[in-house]
Amino acid sequence: MLSLIIDALWLMLPAYVPNSSAVLFSGKTPVDFGRNFIDGRRIFGPGKTFRGLIGGTLSGILVGLLLQLIKESTQIGVPSFEPISVVVTLSLGAMLGDLAMSFLKRRLGLDRGSPLPVADQLDFVVGAWVLTYVFFSDWFVQNFTPSIIVVVLILSPLLHVVVNIIAFKLGKKKEPW
């Protein structure tokens, strides 16, 4: 069981890091350029900035590259990120999943920071998985076994809550969720 948890965390780190580190790169220019959608509401909202999107994605890619380097230099028994470009889809997909949820929350009339339980904790996971599956389906199916998927679906919400509470306590987030 411990091996399964380690593999799940290893595989998801390139997706976990962008989602949690984007807040550290907060910027001024929102991804939606302050524009509204046809419903009159912001497309994504002021909290989704280019610096966060790019900084978060690059952080995840860097972590994925470091993990692969560790795997190759130590030969530890963890999954490989080969092709290495899979770390790009995991990282960017996580950020796109978060953007997609922001878009959905605005359509539902929810303001920035409003909680949407479960969806808030898994949007980046779904984004990472979908983008990775689209470009690297063989790699995805080989590595994200049903057991790994279950572990990720259980661990991700727990980790998300803990990281958000830490960010809130550090003054990086306005809400602890």
Count of domains observed in the chain: 1
- The rounded distance, in Å, linking the Cα atoms of 122 and 139 is 21
Q: Domain for residue 50, yes or no?
A: yes
pLDDT at 85: 97
pLDDT at 160: 86
Q: Domain for residue 165, yes or no?
A: yes
- Tell me how far CA of residue 104 lies from CA of 13, 54, 122, 129, in angstroms: 25, 21, 14, 18
pLDDT-derived band at 75 (thresholds 50, 70, 90) equals confident
- Scan for tokens 């949690």, then name that residue: 20
pTM of the model as a whole = 0.92
pLDDT at 3: 93
Q: Domain for residue 7, yes or no?
A: yes
Q: Domain for residue 177, yes or no?
A: no
Q: Domain for residue 100, yes or no?
A: yes
Q: Domain for residue 174, yes or no?
A: no
pLDDT, tens digit (0-9, with 9 covering 90-100), for 124-151: 999 999 999 999 999 999 999 999 999 9
CA quadruple 42, 169, 65, 94: dihedral sign: negative
Can you read off the two tokens belonging to residue 65?
Answer: 């590259």
- Percentage of the chain beyond pLDDT 90 is 79
Q: Domain for residue 30, yes or no?
A: yes
Instruction: Output 114 or 55, whichever has higher pLDDT.
Output: 55
**Is a pLDDT exceeding 80 seen at residue 157?**
yes
Q: Which domain holds residue 78?
A: 2-169
**Is a pLDDT exceeding 90 seen at residue 14?**
yes
Mean pLDDT of 105-124: 91
Q: Domain for residue 46, yes or no?
A: yes
- The rounded distance, in Å, linking the Cα atoms of 51 and 26 is 6
